[in-house]
Structures are given as C-alpha cells and as structure tokens.
C-alpha cells in the first residue's frame, strides 16, 4: 500500500513516537480542519462525512455523518450557535481483545484532536470531552501535551483559525468499569453520576450530556474525519474493498505468530488478516475458531476465513465485526473455559441496573463453573441456551448482557461436544462410584 492508502497510521513509525504538533503539521496535519472552517458550512461538513460512508468504528457501525445530522440545529446559515451542544469522545477502550484506540491515542494524538474540532464545527458544539480509560496513562500524558500544543497554535480555543468558531476540549480520565463504554452510561459517569445506562429515547443527539444535544463518537471514527475533509469523499470511498468504505485498524491476538494491529481496507478477508498479517498459527497449534470483533461477538469457524471483514458480511454468517480485533481460539484451548473467562468478566462489569444482567450473568458463570468442575448435568446446557435468549437483545437495559451472550450462544452451537464431554466424564465417574 502507498502511504495515502493508510491515512490512520501514516504518521506512526516503529522507531519513534510521532506525537508532536510539528511532526503532525509536517504531514499536512490540520489541513482538513482548515478546509472545514474556512471553506465549508457545518451542514456541508456533515454531508461530506455522510457521503463518505464512514461508519462508527466502536462496534455499532452507524453512519457517522448521519448521526451528526440528527442533532437539532436551526435552519439558518450558519446554524444557530446559541444552543449548547457537546462532542464526547468514547476513549474508554475496555472490550477484551481490543487495543486499536490505544495505538492512535499514544502515537498520533493530534489526529484525534483535529477530528474532534471538525466534528464539533459540524454540529456547532463549543465544548468537547475526551472520556479516556483510566489505565491509559501514556495516552493521557500525550493527549495533555497535544492539547496544550494545539491551544498554543490556535487550533483549540477562541476563534479557531480566525473563524467565528470556538471550542474548548477537556480530557476526563474514567474511574473504570466496562459499562462506561455504553454511550449513555458514559454520559452519566461524565456528569459525576453512577455509570448506568439511560432509557432511549431520547437519544443523546437530542438529549445527552446535561440534557443537551450530544454526539458520542469512538476514537478511531473521529481519526478518519480529517482525511475525508482533506482528500475528499471519492478518495475515501476508493479505499474500501467491499460495501463499506475507508480503512480500519484490524487486530489479532491469541496463538498467532505475530499478534498486533494493521491498517487495512474495509472488506479485507479474515484469512488475510490471520494468515498473512498475523503470520498464521504458532507452530504446533491449529485454528479452531475465532471471535471476529472482540469478546462480545459470536464465534466463527475456519470455514468462515474467506468472509470479508465488513459489517454486513460478518453479520450474514452470524456474528458481528465489532471492533475488528480478532481473538483466535486454538485447538489446545478449551472453548468452555475460554467462555467462562469471558462470562466472569462480563458478570463482574455489569452495572446491576437491570435484573436479567445483574442476576443472569452470575447464574451463567455458576453453571459454567459447575460443568467444568464435574457437577454439571445435561439439563444445564438447556438452561444456558435459555439464558442466551433471556439475556438477549430487547430484554435488557443496554447491550452488555446481549453482548456477553454472543460468545456463549455460538460456543453452544459450534462446540457443544466440549460441554457434553465434561458432563459425560462426570457421569462416568459417578457411575463407577
């Protein structure tokens, strides 16, 4: 690929930290912002991003420009700036197996800052917050330095680039909890409240932070925006291989030879990610399955390796692209124990706001522990299957429990024999006794 084909990582080098304003400006940094605030109206910026086909990179996959366009704005030119609006960056990267935003935050923070300013201009927000995972200490340090540099240069603050637009950006480090990745729980946490999800509607674009219109975007999503403004819609659309547009940070972890992250076109086959970029399985191990987009996605099998990594293609085979970070299951790792590990995490991270999640996830953990410990019965598998429905979409206050059920329901589908072997072995021992 040419450098232009890797806009997200063009500034990231293995030999140095590309994090200063001078470095960023030397590769046309802040030129997308300059074009936005000096040549385009806010509605035009929204339309550019909408037409580009950029979809949310946090896992939801909603069209970013369309999301911005849902913010109530006066039909004036330029739009009314009297109403308070907010941009909030979801940098609370706690999905197991996901580490893509960390790379962007630590190695090229100005890219995110430029994306924030353009997004804020597009909806005429004068305040933005970066909600950062508390454990990301290096990211916090580099973001703090980058924000200071940007303010000194006039990219942040009053009358940016001598335009009539002003913006303050605040860095907020999270106190923790996976639930803060759910956008309405994140907003509650940012307000200083307990991090529990809110009822929807109203959606945050109408009533979000302190009851004001708020757009919540993922780090990687916003990092795409400066390049769309600088190079244009057609250029961005040309980067994708399938129906989805642009590039994406794809990752792989587990028993592969080269765990890591790679910026690749949307629509890259899963086989290419695992076998070429991750180097294939480590010697002595075989691929048995994989979670395509982090811990809260359904297992897929080796027969799905030629599926393209885009939202619709992965959905058609029964999973989700999620964050695009693949967790590999090898033939020497027990899928039942792997699922137990994941369910323990989700049970611990439940905010306890709704009964199915608060009580159903610990019950799931107990059943899995009993099966592994030799206390399981075949009826327990029916109970687990029932729980995947009871804790599924539409039955809980947010998507935490439904996401937790995805690896479990697919493990029961594809690896049921592993569950049954624990139970049969226990019955044999009991019969001998």
Q: Please write the tens of the pLDDT for every residue from 173-209.
A: 998 899 999 999 999 999 999 999 999 999 999 999 9
The pTM for the full model equals 0.94
Per-residue pLDDT, 213: 98
The count of residues in the chain is 433
Enclosing H/E stretch for 16: none
pLDDT at 17: 67
Is the pLDDT at 2 greater than 50? The verdict is: no
Q: Looking at the DSSP assignment, which residues form a beta bridge with residue 87? A: 128, 215
Strand-strand pairing, 287-291 and 325-330: antiparallel
The DSSP bridge partners found for residue 215 are 87
Domain boundaries, the chain: 3-237, 250-330, 335-432
Assign domain 3-237 to its CATH superfamily.
Answer: NADH-ubiquinone oxidoreductase 51kDa subunit (3.40.50.11540)
> Which tens digits make up the pLDDT trace of 155-170?
999 999 999 999 999 9
pLDDT band at 304, cuts 50/70/90? very high
Query: What is the predicted pLDDT for the residue at 427?
Result: 65
Would the pLDDT of 119 be above 80? yes
pLDDT tens digits along 344-357: 999 999 999 999 99
For 75-110, write each residue's pLDDT tens digit: 544 545 568 999 999 999 999 999 999 999 999 999
Residue 252 has pLDDT above 60, yes or no: yes
Q: What is the pLDDT of residue 428?
A: 57
Helix (H) or strand (E) run with residue 88 in it: strand 86-91
**335-432, what's its fold?**
de novo design (two linked rop proteins) (1.20.1440)
The DSSP result for 122-137, as a single string, is: HHT-SEEEEEE-TT-H
- Please, what is the Cα angle at 334 between 331 and 339, to 5 degrees? 125
Q: What is the DSSP string of 44-74?
A: HHHHHHHHHT-B-TTTT--BHHHHHHTS---
Average pLDDT over residues 377-402: 96
What is the average per-residue pLDDT within 366-371? Answer: 98
DSSP string, 354-383: SHHHHHHHHHHHHHHHHHHTT---HHHHHH
Q: What percentage of residues in the chain have a pLDDT greater than 90?
A: 91
The pLDDT of residue 82: 63
Tell me what percent of the residues of the chain surpass a pLDDT of 70: 95
What pLDDT is recorded for position 97? 93
3-state secondary structure of 206: coil
Cβ–Cβ under 8 Å, residues 196 and 351 = yes
pLDDT of 341 strictly over 90: yes
pLDDT of residue 433: 43
Q: Which residues neighbour 318 within 8 Å (Cβ) at sequence distance 6 or greater?
A: 298, 300, 410
The CATH number of domain 250-330, selected from 3.40.190.290, 3.40.640.10, 3.10.20.600, 3.30.70.980: 3.10.20.600
Checking if the pLDDT of 376 tops 60, the result is yes
Mean pLDDT of 267-288: 98
Q: What is the pLDDT of residues 43-77, one digit of tens each?
A: 999 999 999 999 999 988 999 999 999 999 875 44
């Amino acid at each position: 690929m040419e450098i232009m084909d890797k806009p997200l990582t063009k500034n990231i080098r293995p030999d140095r930290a590309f994090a200063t304003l001078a470095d960023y400006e030397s590769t046309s940094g802040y030129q997308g912002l300059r074009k936005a605030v000096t040549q385009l109206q806010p509605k035009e910026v929204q339309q550019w991003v909408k037409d580009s086909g950029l979809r949310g990179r946090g896992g939801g996959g909603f069209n970013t420009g369309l999301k911005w366009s849902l913010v109530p704005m006066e039909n004036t030119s330029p739009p009314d700036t009297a109403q308070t609006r907010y941009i909030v960056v979801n940098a609370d990267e706690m999905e197991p197996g996901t580490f893509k935003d960390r790379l962007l935050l630590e190695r090229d923070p100005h890219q995110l800052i430029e994306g924030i300013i353009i997004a804020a201009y597009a909806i005429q927000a004068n305040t933005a917050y970066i909600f950062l995972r508390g454990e990301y200490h290096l990211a916090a340090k580099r973001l703090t330095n980058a924000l200071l540099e940007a303010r000194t240069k006039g990219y942040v603050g009053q009358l940016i680039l001598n335009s009539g637009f002003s913006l303050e950006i605040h860095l907020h480090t999270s106190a923790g909890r996976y639930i803060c990745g759910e956008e309405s729980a994140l907003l509650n946490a940012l307000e200083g409240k307990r991090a529990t999800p809110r009822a929807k509607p109203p959606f945050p674009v109408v009533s979000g932070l302190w009851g004001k219109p708020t757009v919540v975007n993922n780090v990687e999503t916003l990092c795409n925006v400066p390049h769309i403004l600088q190079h244009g819609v057609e250029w961005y659309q040309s980067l994708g291989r399938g129906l989805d547009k642009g590039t994406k940070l794809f990752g792989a972890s587990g028993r592969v030879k080269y765990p890591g992250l790679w910026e690749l076109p949307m629509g890259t086959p899963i086989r290419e990610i695992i076998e070429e970029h991750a180097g294939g399985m480590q010697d002595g191990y075989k691929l048995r399955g994989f979670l395509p987009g982090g811990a809260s996605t359904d297992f897929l099998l080796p027969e799905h390796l030629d599926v393209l990594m885009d939202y619709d293609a992965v959905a058609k085979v029964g999973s989700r692209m999620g964050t695009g970070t693949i967790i590999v299951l090898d033939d020497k790792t027990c899928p039942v124990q792997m699922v137990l590990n994941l369910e323990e995490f989700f049970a611990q991270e439940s905010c306890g706001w709704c009964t199915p999640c608060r009580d159903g996830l610990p019950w799931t953990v107990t059943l899995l522990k009993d099966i592994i410990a030799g206390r399981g019965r075949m009826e327990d598998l029916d109970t687990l299957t029932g729980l995947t429905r009871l804790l599924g979409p539409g039955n809980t206050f947010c998507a935490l429990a439904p996401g937790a059920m995805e690896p479990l329901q697919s493990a029961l589908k594809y690896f049921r024999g592993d569950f049954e072997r624990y139970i049969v072995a226990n019955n044999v021992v009991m019969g001998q006794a």
